[in-house]
């Protein structure tokens, strides 16, 4: 699945986890909006969720994930797994083309419509058309700087925005305390 129209990045460093998203909404080859907010706080601010893909599809999945978080409020991996199962098995949901990046104090997860719930080893998640550029920049900054998680997210997103035409520099970064 080739997703365009955004970049979402999540990074863990020390006792923080940060997630950022750009603000660009693209329709075909036209920028329709430059200040969309694609990163949300859920579960009374204890969970960060970013989405990439079709806007309507992403919002539908975000709503479903919020429902799963109400069912499993203290267990983000379980809520993510239940969403992935529904997404894969439900005929209507199966057609949705989007990805979710989710982070709480303990877990960073990528949730896909193919039933995948992936927790990266290094705590770095990038999704959307500029996700790979942002991941590469974040990994380099993690290895070769003392920047905070939020600063790494912002600078990596700026690098992705300079490369990817579907990503802009109107970046929103949210941060949580991480639990060891």
Q: Please say whether the beta carbons of 6 and 21 come within 8 A.
A: yes
Residue 167 annotated as binding site: yes
Residue 161 annotated as binding site: yes
Q: Is 6 a catalytic residue?
A: yes
Residue 50: which of 38, 63, 65 has the closest Cα?
38
Helical residues (DSSP H) of 39-148, grouped into ranges? 55-71, 76-89, 91-94, 131-144
Angle formed at CA 107 by CA 16 and CA 55, multiple of 5 degrees: 95
Q: Please say whether the beta carbons of 87 and 115 come within 8 A.
A: yes
Q: Which of 6, 7, 30, 121 is catalytic?
A: 6
Detail the residues annotated as belonging to a binding site for Na(+).
161, 164, 167
Detail the residues annotated as belonging to a binding site.
161, 164, 167
Q: Looking at the annotation, which residues are catalytic?
A: 6
């Amino acid at each position: 699945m080739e997703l365009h129209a955004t970049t979402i990045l999540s990074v863990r460093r020390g006792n923080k986890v940060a997630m950022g998203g750009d603000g660009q909404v693209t329709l075909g080859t036209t920028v329709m909006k430059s200040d969309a907010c694609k990163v949300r706080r859920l579960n009374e601010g204890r969970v960060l969720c970013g989405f990439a893909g079709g806007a309507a599809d992403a919002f539908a999945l975000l709503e479903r994930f919020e429902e799963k978080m109400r069912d499993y409020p203290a267990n983000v991996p379980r809520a993510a797994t239940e969403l992935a199962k529904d997404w894969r098995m439900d005929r209507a949901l199966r057609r949705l083309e989007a990805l979710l990046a989710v982070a709480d104090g303990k877990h960073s997860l990528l949730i896909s419509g193919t039933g995948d719930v992936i927790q990266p080893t290094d705590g770095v998640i990038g999704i959307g058309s500029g996700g790979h550029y942002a991941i590469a920049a974040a990994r380099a900054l993690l290895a070769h700087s003392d920047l905070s998680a939020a600063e790494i997210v912002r600078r990596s997103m700026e690098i992705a925005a300079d490369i990817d035409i579907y990503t802009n520099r109107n970046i929103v970064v949210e941060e949580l305390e991480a639990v060891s």
